[in-house]
Amino acid sequence: MNNSSSSRKVVVIDGCRTPFCRSGTAFTDLRSYDLGRMAVSGLIHRTKIDPGEVDLLVMGTVIADPATSNLGREVVLGTQLPDSCPAYTCSVACVSSLQSFLDCARAIQTGDAEVAIAAGAETLSDAPIRYRRSVRKRLIAAQKARGPGDYLKLLKGLGPTDLLPEPVALAEFSTGEIMGENCERLAKRLGISREAQDEYAVMSHHRAAAATASGQLTRQILPAFPPPRYKGVRADNGVRSDTTMEKLAKLRPAFDRKLGTITAGNASYLTDGGAAVLLASEEAAEQLGLKPIAVLRGSAVAALDPLEELLLGPAMTVPTALDAAGLGLDEVEVVELHEAFAAQVLAVLKVLDDEEFCRDRLGRPAAVGAIDRGRLNTWGGSASLGHPFGATGARLITNCCHRLEAEQARHGLVAACAAGAIGIGLVFERIDGGSE
């Protein structure tokens, strides 16, 4: 599926985010609700938008908290946005807030909204814990128990292991395979070495560290003061400026212990964070005095084979999104790709430049082309900045649009893969005289 935004222009006003923090560290006492509220409130303050002008909020998240099952609506009720603002929650794995953005964009294109907020939030520090099915059935039955005898009957047949909680499900439901296991097979199939993966990871961390030191990244980050100490957090805390090939070489493979190439050092890590993007129709932006950064030029969504193509979503969506925008890959100066694993990014780069793959799988007469590493994730990516599932998409859009401004580039590309073998690609064009 692809879409051209030529009918009614959708513009990006600005984007921002909380710091991205390793799970179990600075944000361990915060919920996805708190992180989403921080991002949306910060965006409203940053853009000076009248909250009453926002027609829609769509919030991406993956691991839902039952207490805030419609996270988007709860964020509306917990911020400056009016109670009358419609909101809902979107869950499409790692592309959740990219899908949130597309939903908002389509609402604007159809005239159902003029101004919207696409956001995402995730905490892996406080993921809901489930007990095993045998225990859950008894707990439900316990609601009808009338005395000690009934309770004792419910305990019959339970063993010690039944009382152990289930780990958070990270495996694909359809295949039973963990994404890292799938990526190992992909790396082996395409001949992507451990050395190449580690080199990419070192580059990601060093670029993120440089962008942080220069202020390019901190410009988009909202200072946070999380409980219980309320000590200020002003930067991502997972970036390792001192990462070297020698250090990464010492790490053991995470999934294939004997022959594996994927390690904790060349993959993204569990992260807490929130991000938000303000978008509007071109007419509404002008009427409200908002200065947009970029205009959406094209988009694409793809659904693939989860066994063999789980991580190749960007390879399917990049050429289609570029077609929708009427552009070639060589015309794009800013590229932001999600880094679930270094091997996954390298795989996407390899197949896009492979004539056989592009002919057989994409139906194209030639390779899409090579993505210049000098244009790719120059401020770091998910491998270094972190990957709070629901917030990553909004971070990618924010990075892309801010890089367009900073580099005075014309066209930017965003693409990501997701569990379930989903891919989303977006193309943006810089608007002169944006948010600064």
State pLDDT tens for residues 192-236.
Answer: 999 999 999 999 999 999 999 999 999 999 999 999 989 999 999
Does residue 228 have a cis peptide bond before it, meaning omega lies within 30 degrees of 0? Answer: yes
State which residues of the chain have pLDDT below 50: 1-6, 436
* pLDDT at position 135: 86
Least Cα distance to 237 among 259, 261, 208 occurs for: 208
Q: Pick the closest to residue 36 from 78, 2, 7 (CA basis).
A: 78
Are the CB atoms for 279 and 108 separated by under 8 Å? yes
Residue 376 contacts residue 337 (beta carbons within 8 Å): yes
Q: What pLDDT, on the 0 to 100 scale, is given for residue 1?
A: 41
Q: Where are the domains of the chain?
A: 2-126+269-428
Contact 299, 105 (CB under 8 A): yes
| pLDDT (0 to 100) of residue 167 | 66
Catalytically active residues, by annotation: 94, 387, 417
Q: What was the pLDDT predicted at 428?
A: 98
pLDDT score recorded for residue 249: 98
In the prediction, which pLDDT does 434 show? 55
Answer yes or no: CATH 3.90.1150.10 is held by domain 2-126+269-428.
no
* pLDDT for the residue 6: 45
